[in-house]
Structure 1
Amino acid sequence: MFEVAISARSAMFAGMNTTSEHDRNLAAKLRSLSIEPAAFKTESPAPLARRRMIPGVMLVLVATASLAAVSLYGPEMLERIETALAMFSGSDFTISANGAEARARDDAAAEGGRTPTKDGAKSTAALPREITGSGYVIAPDTATAFSKYEGRIVAVEVEAGDLVVAGQVLVRLEDAGARFALRGAEISGQAAALALDAKNIELAQARLSLVRTERLAGRDAMSMQALEEAKTAADRAENAALQARQDVEKAELEIDKAREQVEALTVRAPISGTITRLTAHVGDTVLSREDSVRENESLLVITDTAKMVIDADVAEANIALMRPGLSGEAVLDGFPGQPFAVEVSKIAPVISREKGTVTLRLSLSQPPSGMRPAMAARIRLVVGEGSAGATHPPSSFETPARRLGDAG
């Protein structure tokens, strides 16, 4: 390459009519600066050293030739030499610069995320890993109300969506047989009480007769046989009184049973919450709880919406990274622009064979006020040693408009 430039320079000198000794000396000096082609070597030199050496030599040659041209022929010859050198060496300079940038990028990638510490050493920082999943909003505290006994609905005191408290009347039923049974039990209880009073009187008389007989027998005015008969009569009266007392207790149990059945015709709220489903209607005849085996035979459903969680499925491959207390965020399909914080509270003890997932129960922190059970949710958990206290990239749940708003 440099020989071509020198040859052009020599030809330019030869074309001139005036050739001085000074010109020949300058040509000899330029020829001495030319680089002879190196012998072919099977082992190529290091590309980095070669690329660094060639630009330096070329800069020296260009500077020398430029000075000579300016001294002899003025600025016009200098422009010609620079143009000729640029034609041959411009591409090499560009390739060399691009190669240096590529090597710098390769070296940075080979570092594997290492960052300098305060003392200048290199340390490897573990990048956080994101795990995503999907699931639904769940209300763990849910109660399904059934009628304990058969009856006919005469009043429905609530509507779907109403907030109720534990013990509040929900539905009233009517069953004439239950009320008759209660009345009969109460009458039987009264009769048993009267019988007990009679037996207690007989017992008191038998005891007085025994005391009198014992006094006479002590004076030899009464035979021993009469004394024994008085004792037997007193014992018999006492046993009869005990039996009458048991009958009274049994009658009281029957009364309590009949009263409980009548009271069960008034269905009350077992827990506080919201009426999420109502199937009871006035005039319907409902079956007892033992006969109501299907969910649609219930009266209503109460859900405690103040204590909701998310049950979400994540890939089975992430089970080793899961632990209670792991934090992240979730977003509901119904409120896509309102992500909120979540935390893993429980991990299912089994894996879903069909889906190849594990179910996580997540506690919620400041969810949207309009959240309802069975809403679809997507979750994002951040795991890894570097995740604690680190600045994470924008959430995948955030919309571009939201990110732009935050940036503004």
Structure 2
Amino acid sequence: MNHKDLLNELKIDRSQRETHRAGPPGWLWPVLGAVLIVLLAGAGAWYFLGNKPVEVQTATAVSPASNPDAGAVLQATGYVTARRQATVSAQITGTLTEVLIEEGDRVQKGQVLARLDDSAYKASLVATQAQAAAAHALVTQLQAQSVQNERDAQRLEALVARGLVSRQDAEQARTQVNSIRAQLAAQQRQAKAADAQVNVAEVNFDYTVVRAPFNGVITTKDAQVGEIISPLSAGGGFTRTGVGTIVDMDSLEVDVDVNEAYIGRVKPNMPAEAILDAYPDWRIPAHVIAIVPAADRGKATVKVRVALENKDGRIVPDMGVRVSFLEQQAASASQAMAPKGVLVPAKAIVQREGHDIVFVLAGDKVQQRAVTPAAQNYGDMRLVPERVQAGDTVVITPPDNLNDGMRVAVAAKTQD
């Protein structure tokens, strides 16, 4: 083979070169792009949705000995009420010239709360006092005249005995004595009547001052200076019927409505414990005062009066309160019979595949634990003998999509 033949063999066929340059077909690139987009969307959905924590509410498992409702026979809700409160008003109609109270003021019995315009009553009092003074002055005059007439009559009777004057003169003098005595008696009665008028005027004048009927706290201020106040509702909205409301804080107690199906469990003087909605960690010792012998047909409840054994400035009327009626037993006996295990809210126990399950918080994830709750209820709590420890945080009303090991975000801790 010569040199020319070798060069010819090194030449590349043009048809083969074009085929090599063509590469993959044109439809393949759009397909690859669509697959890549789907993969990226799936990865993003898994990251943002599958890894998103589930929002839950939690509570703390407590020991039966420390649970306030562990020995409760029954629980009921109600409100703080005052057995003694009054809307203070005047006993006469008049215009307010002073109002000396504000909401929250503590007042003592007899303390002046307001004053009415007293000009007319003061003038009436002065007039009756003057009339009484005149009546008493006339009594004094008649008394002096009666004494003088008595002396004159005695002298004339002595002269008659000596024959110096006629008996007729002595009789006339005695008649004058009796007449003055009658006038004196009548005038004394007039003076007493005038004194009674003075007393009436003084009472009316005193009515212009409004005083506290008992020790308490002002809860409302209902009138202002310049307004007309009246013990009766007169004049529409232009007349006030009270200056303010005073509440005796020492008379505060709790009224609760007990379902009539359970009223047999409540007895007078039964120990109880009250928890205010405003202060859920403050447990107030209490006891039953009385069971009101009347049922509410609409609500099927019976009212029970409960006394608060500890009074405090934080307790105010109309506060919401929950009362636990307690069993009457010795503390040592209750501790000896304290059940084994912990108490969790009944809503924390759910069914999963035919088993009772509790979700316990461990960091930001939950652990699923199978439990066997005791048959006895403790109010709205259930006793879990094992698998849960006191102080563990459990999920209340777990959602259906919550599973073991999932991340959670605590929305609110509803119960301690």
- 2:163 maps to which of 215, 220, 223: 220
What corresponds to 1:404 in structure 2?
Answer: 391
C-alpha separation in 2, matches of 1:388 and 1:353: 41
CA contact 1:178–1:261 (8 Å) conserved in 2: yes
Residues 241/289 of structure 1: CA separation in 2 closer, same or farther (3 Å cut): farther
Distance 1:186 1:224 in 2: 45
Contact 1:333 1:377 in 2 (8 A): yes
Residue 265 (structure 2) aligned to one of 318, 321, 337: 321
What is the aligned residue count? 276
Measured after TM superposition, the shift of residue 387 of structure 1 is 9.1
Tell whether 2:75 aligns with 1:132.
Answer: yes
Structure 1: distance between partners of 2:205 and 2:264: 56
Distance 1:158 1:130 in 2: 45
Change (3 A) 1:359 1:219: same
1:230 shift after superposition: 2.4
Q: Matches of residues 226-375 of structure 1 in structure 2 within 5 Å?
A: 226-288=169-231, 297-366=241-310, 369-375=313-319
Answer 1 or 2: which has greater helix percent. 1
1:349: Cα distance to partner?
2.9
- 1:164 matched to 2:107? The reply is yes
State whether residues 228 and 240 of structure 2, in contact with CA within 8 Å, keep that contact through their aligned partners in structure 1: no
Query: Secondary structure at the residue paired with 1:132?
Result: strand
* Counterparts in 2 of 1:356 and 1:213: CA distance versus 1, 3 Å: farther
Q: What amino acid is the match of 1:266?
A: V
Against the structure 1 CA distance between its residues 161 and 253, is the aligned structure 2 distance closer, same or farther, given a 3 Å change threshold? same
CA distance, structure 2, for counterparts of residue 178 and residue 280 of structure 1:
21
Deviations 1:32-72 (A, max 9, x none): xxxxxxxxxxxxxxxxxxxxxxxxxxxxxxxxxxxxxxxxx
TM-score (norm 1): 0.61
* Distance (Å, rounded) in 2 between the aligned partners of 1:385 and 1:302: 40
Identify the residue that residue 125 of structure 2 maps to in structure 1. 182
Q: Which runs of 5+ in 2 are unaligned?
A: 1-69, 344-377, 382-389, 393-415
Displacement of 1:158 = 1.7
Match of 2:84 among 138, 141, 146: 141
Between the aligned partners of 1:183 and 1:141, the Cα distance in structure 2 is: 38
Change over 3 Å in CA distance of 1:375–1:183 after alignment to 2: same
Identity of aligned residues (%): 26
173, 184, 205: which is aligned to 2:148? 205
Task: Give, in angstroms, the shift of residue 369 of structure 1.
Answer: 4.3
Check 1:243–1:334 CA distance in 2 against 1; reply closer, same or farther (3 A cut): same
Distance in 1, matches of 2:316 and 2:185, equals: 61
| Aligned partner letter, 1:286 | I
Which AA in structure 1 matches 2:308? L
Could you say which structure has the larger radius of gyration?
Answer: 1
Given that 1:331 and 1:397 are in contact with CA atoms closer than 8 Å, whether structure 2 keeps it comes out as no
Q: Is the partner of 2:91 in helix, strand or coil?
A: coil
Name the residue aligned to 2:370. none
CA–CA distance in structure 1, aligned partners of residues 230 and 121 of structure 2 = 14
1:53 aligns with: none
Q: SS of the residue aligned with 1:350?
A: strand
Opposite residue 338 of structure 1, the aligned amino acid is W
Higher RCO (CA < 8 A, seq sep 6+): 2
Q: 1:222 to 1:293 in 2, by over 3 A?
A: farther
Q: Distance in 1 between matches of 2:101 and 2:310?
A: 29
Deviation of 1:388 after TM superposition, in Å, equals 9.1
* Mapped partners of 1:285, 1:210: distance in 2: 63
Compute the displacement of 1:356 (Å). 2.5
The one-letter amino acid paired with 1:333 is D
Q: Distance in 2 between matches of 1:360 and 1:372?
A: 19
**Matches of 2:300 and 2:114, distance apart in 1:** 44
TM-score of the aligned structures, taking structure 2 as reference length: 0.59
C-alpha offsets along residues 349-371 of structure 1, whole Å, 9 cap, x if unaligned? 33333333222111113366412
Deviation per CA, 1:217-241: give whole Å up to 9, x if none. 3223344433333222211111111
What amino acid sits opposite 1:237 in the alignment? I
Which residue identity lines up with residue 351 of structure 1 in the other structure?
Answer: A
Matching residue of 1:195: 138
Q: Which amino acid aligns with 2:298?
A: E
Match of 1:107 in 2: none
1:14 counterpart residue number: none
- Structure 1, residues 174-208: CA drift from partner, whole Å, max 9, x if none? 13221221121111112112211221122112211
Q: CA deviation at 1:309?
A: 0.7
Residues of 2 paired with 1:296 and 1:355: CA distance? Answer: 36
Q: 1:404 to 1:173 in 2, by over 3 A?
A: farther
Say if 1:145 and 1:300, in contact at 8 Å, map to a contact too: yes
Contact 1:188 1:251 in 2 (8 A): yes
